[in-house]
Structure 1
Amino acid sequence: GNRGRTGVVVAAYMHYSNISASADQALDRFAMRRFYEDKALPVGQPSQKRYVRYFSGLLSGHIKINNKPLFLHHVIMHGIPNFESKGGCRPFLKIYQAMQPVYTSGIYNVQGDSHTSICITIEPGLLLKGDILLKCYHKRFRSPIRDVVFRVQFHTCAIHDLGVVFGKNELDQTFKDERFPEYGKVEFVFSFGPEKIKGMGHLENGPQVSVDYNTQDPLIRWDSYENFNRGCEDTGDGGLQSSCRNMNR
């Protein structure tokens, strides 16, 4: 179940050894490559590939570490996925920092065609530092089930632009989900301070978008990483269940 994660570690080590290892360690690199090909799954999720690129870029000097604080103000979904029978979806966001929940949005009810955009605004800006995981869920209508719309993970040390865009092929799970439009993308708007960014009135949602700020619903509050050290994850059906494994066995 964790062979994909093992693949990330092995791929990162191979980048490291290619840069820093001596000629005498060529056989070790060959053995590691054989292990990667035989035992580990290929690095498949976009975020896994992103972190391998981070590691390689930091080693080679192509990526400079960003030490400035980053405040997230807007998450814009360009292109609405089709999760409802009549089109549209009911998305909400959960943001984790170092696997700890730091933000939960209201539930947005989006009606309209797939060319619609939706903006989730966070004011004052949310300070983010380190490993960040953002998950967008769809809350099914009158049902205690949520579905993952997209998931993306990044590290703030590698973010140098105040506007960052992830295309469909850069979003975990979404890159192969037909319900998400091919031209769809997710945009993040940052600043260096928590104050509201001026001149962003054009991002306001239109009348086709309504918001339910009742986040007391257990489905919204439920945190799939509250038992992360015991290996709990969302189940495939999106329900309020978890498949926990004892990692010490």
Structure 2
Amino acid sequence: MCRVCGRALSLPERGRRPVYCSRACQAKAYRARRTPAPVASGPSERRTEIARVVWQIAAEQGLDAVSMRSVAAAAGVSVRVVQYHFGTKHQLLVDSLELLHRTNEQLAAGRIQADLTDPKALLGAILEEFLPLDAHRRLSLRALVGYYARSLADPALAAVFLTGDRALEDFVALILRYAEEQGLLRPGIHLASTADLLVAGVTGLGLDVVHGTRTARDVREIIARQLDQLFRDATGLPAKVATRR
């Protein structure tokens, strides 16, 4: 096979085996050797662009439709460009999933104001991140469904899902503990199990919105009612004295 274009080569009767199918491929290989390879410095814009195409195909057609050729065609690049940035199809899937998680975290951090002075509102904002309230979150949820199913038989994909496992549940439990210390929670609430139920419940409800069996408004009302059951009625709480820091 030609080292540049992959075409089949005919073996000569005598002499050395050819490694290129034409002088043009030989010239391309020569220029590639003379050109210094770019130094990798984290995910490039091109890598992110290609990963976004993977998310789009996975969300619209399923993960089985993701291939090096389909991604290259949708991204408007050659297969060699995809191979350069990701190597193999499997690595393309794994790296794209990691980039999706990282992108979701960055977008969520930009939307959520971590204000512990109002833990109820903070919890509501965190839980709403699981709902498809915009185009990216809709795409992300649909893509993640396919990824999660594949991860059950793929250790490398499973490792991405399990990185920082229970970090979100622990963070929700931490907010609940703060609210309890401030006297904002109703008595008798088990913090850890409540955090688990909140995260697991809103994850399933977000998928209901994707399927169209519930609306985002319905799920927001469910979240609000659940938080009302956890927190004391603000009207019955003593007013806090403002302090200057």
Q: Which TM-score tier does this pair reach, normalised by the shorter chain?
A: under 0.3
Relative CO higher for 1 or 2, CA cutoff 8 Å, sep ≥ 6?
Answer: 1
More helix by share: 2
TM-score, normalisation: structure 1: 0.23
TM-score, normalisation: structure 2: 0.23
More strand by share: 1
Query: Which has the larger Rg?
Result: 2
